[in-house]
Structure 1
């Protein structure tokens, strides 16, 4: 599991301007209500959701494939009632091997990364998951987990930015049709409060290149 020092937060964005409004509804001012959770978004970065092992290791042809594994069925559980807010990510690893003559265990590394603003890595941890094949078995499956923690102070937008985003704008006002996020100050504040929890296989440079170019 990822350590408690990790910070993983999602933003608080546009809030309801009337008590009876629900997400996606048009409120009394003519705006659309949108409520975003404080739980971090969870995803698998491109080209890191599968891993291929070769035998011999330097080969890259299909007849040299030894083991192939993929990450699938990614799901998350977020406890947003606490501080820090804990998000547990669970995923399945499906693996297939070429030679099935004997029982075998394959250990694969995977990472958990927390990013801020979609690009800045806040924290990273590498764990390992073991896939066990029985003799004569070509396919195997297991599950793995990772946990990140949300610090509410990092998720909270400054009061002036929050007020600017949620302020009611009446038709005819000069800024009525302007997106608050068009303001660089607001956009920057929202980015700083936007975090993601990402999981994927910890690939070598060669493995990453193989996934990206095959």
Structure 2
């Protein structure tokens, strides 16, 4: 049993995210429990903006975006509220109908209970600068998430943090239909 202890310890530390900036700024007391689960909402993880409302083809695209990764770091001990920060990796594309070399992409971060009930939701905007290229990437840090807990028996596993693009009804329908464009679609 002792020979598996390092593997179990490594798995617990990897899932909890206690070796980040948030934890480094506090004392060395271990978290009271695991961090909440985090993920990007599948239907809202892609962003396609067409030059006009009737656009459906690659040649009609102004800008695209994708959430490529999300990471969560949290800290809580005793009765202290759960403090968390989220890192979100974005990939952006500039289509043939793009007007300009930059675009704003709206996105959200929501805290939910494990049953899906939204407890809090905040909206943000990130800007992509394309310069001379057609692709760009960026990492955003959202570091002001606080989740109050009724008492110290409530752990992070009772919550989820979900991120996604703030999409129009048309963009959401496009994603739900399974449509998507690769950055190299014009070369096909």
Give the TM-score normalised by structure 1.
0.61
How many residues of Structure 1 are paired with residues of Structure 2 in the alignment? 148
* C-alpha contact 1:96 1:139 (8 A) present in aligned 2: yes
Give the TM-score normalised by structure 2.
0.68
3-state secondary structure, aligned to 1:39: coil
If asked which structure has higher relative contact order (CA below 8 Å, sep 6+), I would say 1
More strand by share: 2
Structure number with larger C-alpha Rg:
1
* C-alpha contact 2:62 2:97 (8 A) present in aligned 1: no
Report the RMSD for the aligned CA atoms in angstroms. 2.9
Give the aligned partner of residue 118 of structure 1: 115
Q: State yes or no: 1:206 paired with 2:170.
A: yes
Distance of 2:139 and 2:124 partners within structure 1 = 13
Structure 2 stretches lacking a partner, 5+ long:
10-31, 180-188
Task: Tell me the alpha carbon deviations over residues 51-102 of structure 1, each in whole angstroms, 9 at most, x when there is no partner.
Answer: 0010123312222122111011211111224722211010111111124998
1:1-214 equivalences under 5 Å are 37-81=33-77, 83-99=80-96, 104-134=101-131, 136-147=132-143, 148-153=145-150, 156=153, 194-213=158-177, 214=179
Distance of 1:155 and 1:208 partners within structure 2 = 39
3-state secondary structure, aligned to 2:43: coil
Structure 1 stretches lacking a partner, 5+ long:
1-19, 25-35, 158-189
Alpha-carbon distance change, 199 to 102 in structure 1, aligned in 2, over 3 angstroms:
closer
